[in-house]
Chain A
Amino acid sequence: MNRFFDLLSVAVYMIFIQNLVFSGGYGASEAIRMAAKPRRFLLFALSIAYFSVVTSAACRALDFIPGVFALSDALHAVIFVLMLVLVYLITAVLMRIVLKAEPKFLSLMGISALNTLVLAIPFINNRAAYSLTESIGTGLGAGLAFILAVALMSNGMQRLSQNKDIPAAFSGAPAIFIYVALLSLAFTGFSGTSLFA
């Protein structure tokens, strides 16, 4: 039970206190694009959550091997990337061959798997020396943080797209950036002035 609460507390930390997308910037480009054009959003978010949980747990499990643990940071980076690629390939093969997924779905999965948000999780775990359950919590938190970020942004974007007063130079991407900036400022109230990771 203790472990479950550990997991939960880390997840909540990742979602609210130091929201990965707003206070850390990870996966910001995917989040903004998703918010502007919400297509298959839930599937995308679930895919991100899945990949981040699996990769995070796998990388952390690898660290149990003392030989791996003693490696330098650079080699750790290589290992994380290789692990992510491995997870992605295995999942892709499963989807394609066993479940006969269509190419569109595969491409969606590709983007969700191979982006900075998912890749950042093992690094964060490494930095903060989280245990295995906490690593799972981090992965879960990544997916949920993404969902929260997109939900918050999409409402704002709706409002922006209906706002006719925006000067021409600012319409489109610049207004979105500034909107996200102010949202990020709001989340800084939780995280404080300490920089993330």
Chain B
Amino acid sequence: MAGNAKSKPLPLPQVFLRGILIHNPVLVQVIGIFPVVAAAVSLRTSALLAGVFSLVLIITQFAACAFLKKVPRWIRVAVYLLIGIAVVFPVLYILEKNNAGIRITLGIYLPLMAANPLAALRCEKVAVRSSIKHSFFDSVAASIGYSAVLLTAGFTRELFGSGMIAGKTVSFIHPASGMLMPFGGFIVLGFTAALLRWYVLRRYPKLAKETAFEIVNTSVRVRQIPAPRFSPAEEEPAEAEKESPAPVLAVSDMQSPPDSLPTEDNDGEAAGDIQTSDDVIIQPEDDMEDYHGESGELVIMPEEEVLPDEPVSGESSAEELSPAELPDKEEIPVETPVSEKVPEAVPPDDLQTAKQTVSADDDSQLKSIFPDLYLSEELDSQAIDRRIEDMFNSLEEYEHKTPNEE
């Protein structure tokens, strides 16, 4: 279901709910991680950063909504950066004038707040399409969400990393200086994100799909093992028995990307699948286009990179996952996760028929031919290949030996 280019604004509570919890910029949309990870090492610095960030975000969105709707896209992004530095520079100047100690600790991080990816994203998504009031509240919500994460991270890292709370030492903790480093930031982020996700899953289970960050990796390979039928038409799959990579979309959840527009028909917990209806097959939009996408509508066409390079031959008897998955015994039953999810994509027709022929019978057919392979401790893919190879080679020899009556 395609969203409209201009959407009716949501009621305020919904905007805030979405901005802070469901589409939390850092924890769900994975934007603007750098200050949280690198800079939020104490409560005071995070407070300052949060303040500057919110200021930049709100002002940029306001300006984008008010003035920049007519400007072409590729100039607009540069303007965001200019607005950012215009906001940050006074802060820098004031800090420098007062020679505040905090400037030393912030060092490089404060000027980098000018390059605010969240501002660019939000502006492109919301500000240029809606009214000033709506974009203002949206930016406020996003700022609150981001600041909350910053403050949490700053508090936790200061507590565990230096043993202090806002500069006052806490005595019973052995400070782990590693928490002050970026990997400590990532750990704190991870657990905070898990906490948020747990809360959202409990409280708003129907909106939970929107919090998922999907991993779309088009390099998952599917190996073909041809059916052991002794007909000349199968000579060709004998060549293709080696890895014929067919990139298959391994999508964990068919849903729109988390940072798509909120739509109008949504009130509270009622509409669970806002952008994901099962009758329309939706490809996850190219994320880069979400930054500066041409349209806000969901693109209902398959991405060209998703289609397999070689059409899968229809006589595939069994499908096995990429080699990394083979030795796990639980992959032998044919409900492999890939074949479960593939029908949800938009594959070409032969791919679809190929997937349909995969069934438990084929697996048992293979097993009846190579019984000992399935009893071994580890499923050696090379052993299977070699077996099939030997079989075909022996078949070849047999065929070539017969014409003796010449």
Contacts and interface: CB of A to CB of B under 8 A. Distances in A.
The answer to whether A and B assemble together is yes
Interface of A: 22-30, 32-33, 36-40, 44, 72-74, 77-78, 80-82, 84-85, 88-89, 92, 96, 103-104, 106-111, 114-116, 119-120, 123-124, 127, 154, 157-162, 164, 168-178, 180-182, 184-185, 188, 193, 195-197
Chain B interface: which size bin? 35 or more
B180 A195 contact: yes
Contact of A40 (B183, B288, B291, B292): B288
Contacts of B250: 158, 161-162
B153 to A, nearest CB: 11
A164 B325 CA distance: 12
B100 interface: no
Interface of B: 27-28, 30-34, 37-38, 73-75, 77-78, 80-82, 84-85, 88-89, 92-93, 96, 107-108, 111-112, 114-115, 117, 120, 177-178, 180-187, 189-191, 193-195, 197-198, 201, 211-220, 250, 252, 284, 286-289, 291-294, 303, 305, 321, 324-325, 337
A28 B77 contact: no
A178 B38 CA distance: 15
Contact of A107 (B34, B291, B321): B291
A115 B115 contact: yes
B292 A28 contact: no
A157 B34 contact: no
Contact of A77 (B74, B85, B183, B198): B85
B197 A77 contact: no
Nearest to B187: A181
Nearest to A194: B181
Contact of A116 (B88, B115, B198, B213): B115
Nearest to A92: B74
A110 B74 CA distance: 7
B288 A178 contact: no
B213 A36 contact: yes
Contact of A169 (B96, B201, B252): B201
B78 A77 contact: no
A174 B193 contact: yes
DSSP class of B's interface residues: helix, strand, loop or mixed?
Answer: helix
A72 B93 CA distance: 9
A81 B216 contact: no
* 10 closest A-B pairs by CB: A181-B186, A177-B190, A184-B183, A107-B292, A25-B38, A77-B111, A74-B92, A169-B198, A178-B190, A174-B194
Nearest to A104: B289
A124 B265 CA distance: 48
Contacts of A116: 34, 112, 115, 117
B74 A39 contact: no
Nearest to B118: A29
Contacts of B92: 73-74, 77
Nearest to B32: A29
Given A104-B288, A107-B291, A171-B212, 10 more contacts: A32-B30, A81-B84, A81-B114, A103-B74, A114-B77, A120-B108, A162-B321, A172-B212, A176-B215, A188-B181
B216 A77 contact: no
A172 B82 contact: no
A120 B78 CA distance: 16
A178 B190 CA distance: 5
A20 to B, nearest CB: 10
Contacts of A104: 288-289, 294
Nearest to B324: A159
B52 to A, nearest CB: 13
Contacts of A124: 108
Contact of B89 (A77, A161, A164, A170): A77
Contacts of B252: 161, 171-172
Contacts of B215: 36-37, 157-158, 160-161, 172, 176
Given A37-B284, A180-B186, A80 B77 contact: no
A25 to B, nearest CB: 4
15 contacts: A23-B181, A24-B38, A29-B31, A36-B214, A40-B288, A77-B111, A81-B85, A111-B288, A119-B114, A123-B111, A161-B215, A169-B195, A173-B27, A175-B190, A178-B186
